[in-house]
Amino acid sequence: MRTAICPGSFDPVTYGHLDIIGRAALIFDKLIVAVSYNPGKNPLFSIEERIQLLQGVLSNYPNIEVKAFSGLTVDAAIECKAKAIIRGLRVVSDFENEFRMALTNQKLACHIETVFLMTKAEYSFISSTTVKEVASFGGSLRSLVPPLVEEKLREKFKRCHED
C-alpha cells in the first residue's frame, strides 16, 4: 500500500488545501492529513477543532485519515510508514522554502520522497492568513473555504468581536 502524508497547520483549511489533498488522495492508496501543533504560532482554531473541520470536509474520501502530530514532519512520515510527503505549491516564492525542507527531509530519511503538487490557478492566492483576515472584517468567504469552515470562522470572529 502506498501511503503519503500531507502535513500542515490547516488554520483553517481552505479550498487550496482541499485541492492538493483531493488530488493526492487520487495518487496514493492512503493519505494521512497530518495537522501540526506549530508551537511557535498562535492558531485561531485548536488542534481538535482543526481535526474536526478536516474530518468534516474530507468525509467523502475513504482513503484519508486525519491526525495530529508534533515535531518533525519527516518523523511523522516515518511513524505513519509513509513513502511520500505531499507539499502544495501556490506561487513560485513557495518553492525555495519547500525545496530546502525537502532536501533536509531527504537527509533525515532518504527513503521518503517529497511530492510537490501545484495548486490550481484559481486557488493560488488563497492562504489561511488571508482567509482569517477576510473573516475578521466580515468579508465573503464563499470562494475561499467550504461552508462548514465558513460557519466556524463566523462563530470565532463573532466571539472575538463580543469580547
pLDDT in tens, 91-135: 888 889 999 999 999 999 999 999 999 999 999 999 999 999 999
pTM for this predicted structure: 0.93
Tell me what pLDDT residue 38 has: 76
> Which residues are annotated as catalytic?
17, 41, 90, 128
88 annotated among ligand-binding-site residues: yes
pLDDT in tens, 44-53: 999 999 999 9
- How far CA 132 is from CA of 55, 141, 148, in Å, comes to 20, 9, 15
Write down the architecture of domain 3-125 according to CATH: 3-Layer(aba) Sandwich (3.40)
Per-residue confidence band for 154, with pLDDT thresholds at 50, 70 and 90:
very high
- Average pLDDT, stretch 26-38? 95
Residue 160 has pLDDT above 70, yes or no: no
CA 37 to CA 46: how far, in whole Å? Answer: 9
89 annotated among ligand-binding-site residues: yes
125 annotated among ligand-binding-site residues: yes
